[in-house]
Amino acid sequence: MTPVIEGISGAGLGLRRPYLKPFTEEPPEEVDFFELAPENWIGVGGALGSRLRFFTDRWPVICHGLSLSIGGPHPLNEALVRDVGAWMDEYGVRLYSEHLSYT
């Protein structure tokens, strides 16, 4: 298998908030990277932000967006694009995918 992004290959897991505490206490050895939706994490700070940083400092993280609806009837949400880009830079995320849909 050829990785899309160098250093990201193998088995990934969707990172959801309920997993943060148990996985920081006992990190999963079988997971090579985590996937998350940046819209669910933009602006998160405090304890949740610290736990998220635990993951982004230790594993590659990829993102799959849920909100752009590229190809839809509405203009592109440029503010969201900027927010996602800034968030990805902050956490060192190197891969982003999005739905291509008309809704």
The one-digit pLDDT tens for each residue of the chain (103 residues) are 555 667 788 999 999 999 999 999 999 889 999 999 999 999 999 989 999 999 999 999 999 998 887 777 788 889 999 999 999 999 999 899 987 766 5
Report helix, strand or coil for 43: coil
pLDDT at 67: 84
Q: In Å, how far are 10, 28, 64 from 5, measured between CA atoms?
A: 12, 22, 15
pLDDT of residue 16: 93
Task: Return the number of other C-beta atoms located less than 10 Å from residue 51's C-beta.
Answer: 17
In angstroms, how far apart are the furthest CA atoms of the chain? 45
